[in-house]
């Protein structure tokens, strides 16, 4: 992730210190993705899996709206939810700017079936490396327990499975198994009239099965400001095994040219 963003050396500008959601949203659109290319690839993926504008889609990790808002603009039927109030606030602001009448429900994954019925959707999005935080470590440090983490992952996958109609598809991605620990300056950022550095950090401890990652701003005195993100170091083998265990019949790892940061799977009900 860092190497791709580092090449671009894009300078981000904020009037005041951004919320984590605002900083991450800027990274998505200006550093990490070519939004148009990614959305076009998703549309191709939809076409190959017979997902049309009449299909029911849910983004269970909608965050600040990428790529759900782009897909909604193009006529797709996408329900949106997220657990982060800051992310939802920015989602709604962007939707209003685009004159889209769309809501994003504040909801945690374990409570999905209280608000959405089983066997409702043809396609479920869980992207942006969001799934690994089913253990509860998003924007906060959490001590990782292997047994508890795997139980929560499996329980969450079963909920995603239950949301899908027969033949429905789950899109899920996560960090690569071979990632290494790193701390790299990505670009300069202007906050008000103060110059800061944007830094991507991750500590990937495969031995302890722990992963900590964040993006933060560093000022000229070396002071660093950001929020921690803690998760279990979930491997590809563990993920695939759980997908099979909860009932998915076919699991396919796919390559998207516009997704160089995470590994992507499609799991079919």
- Return the pLDDT at 4: 43
- Return the pLDDT at 3: 42
Q: What is the DSSP string of 98-146?
A: TT-----EE--GGGHHHHS-SS-EEEEEE-TT-GGGGGS-TTS-----H
Give CA–CA dist 33/227, Å, rounded.
22
DSSP reduced 3-state for 38:
helix
- Return the pLDDT at 11: 84
Inter-axis angle of helices 20-27 and 85-97, nearest 10: 60
Q: How confident is the model at residue 5 (pLDDT cuts 50, 70, 90)?
A: very low
The answer to whether residue 119 scores a pLDDT higher than 90 is yes
- Return the pLDDT at 148: 96
Instruction: At 105, list the tokens.
Output: 């429900």
pTM: 0.94
Domain edges within the chain? 19-176+235-268
117-129 burial code (b ≥16 CB/10 A, e <16): eeebbbbbbbbbb
User: How many other C-beta atoms lie within 10 A of the C-beta of residue 15?
Assistant: 8
Across the chain, which distance is largest between two alpha carbons, in Å? 56
Class of domain 19-176+235-268: alpha beta
Q: How confident is the model at residue 140 (pLDDT cuts 50, 70, 90)?
A: confident
Beta bridge partners of 268: 169, 250
First to last CA, the chain: 31
pLDDT in tens, 199-234: 999 999 999 999 999 999 999 999 999 999 999 999
Give CA–CA dist 163/118, Å, rounded.
5
């Amino acid at each position: 992730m860092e190497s791709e963003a580092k090449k671009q050396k894009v300078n981000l500008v904020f009037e005041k210190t951004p919320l984590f959601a605002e900083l991450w949203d800027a990274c998505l659109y200006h550093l990490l993705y070519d939004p148009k290319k990614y959305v076009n690839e998703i549309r191709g993926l939809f076409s190959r899996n017979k997902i049309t504008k009449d299909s029911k889609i849910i983004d269970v990790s909608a965050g600040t709206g990428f790529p759900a808002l782009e897909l909604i603009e193009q006529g797709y039927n996408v329900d949106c939810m997220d657990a982060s109030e800051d992310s939802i606030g920015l989602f709604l602001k962007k939707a209003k700017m685009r004159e889209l009448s769309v809501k994003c429900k504040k909801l945690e994954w374990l409570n999905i079936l209280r608000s959405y019925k089983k066997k409702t959707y043809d396609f479920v999005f869980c992207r942006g490396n969001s799934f690994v935080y089913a253990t509860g470590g998003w924007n906060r440090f959490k001590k990782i327990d292997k047994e508890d983490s795997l139980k929560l992952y499996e329980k969450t996958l079963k909920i995603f499975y239950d949301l899908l109609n027969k033949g429905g598809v789950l899109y899920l991605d996560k960090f690569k198994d071979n990632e290494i620990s790193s701390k790299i300056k990505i670009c300069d950022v202007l906050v008000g009239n103060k110059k800061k550095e944007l830094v991507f950090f991750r500590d990937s401890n495969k031995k302890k099965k722990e992963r900590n990652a964040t993006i933060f701003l560093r000022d000229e005195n070396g002071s660093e400001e950001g929020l921690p993100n803690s998760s279990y170091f979930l491997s590809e083998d563990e993920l695939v095994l759980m997908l099979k265990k909860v009932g998915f019949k076919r699991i396919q790892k796919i390559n998207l040219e516009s997704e160089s940061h995470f590994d992507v799977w499609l799991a079919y009900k």
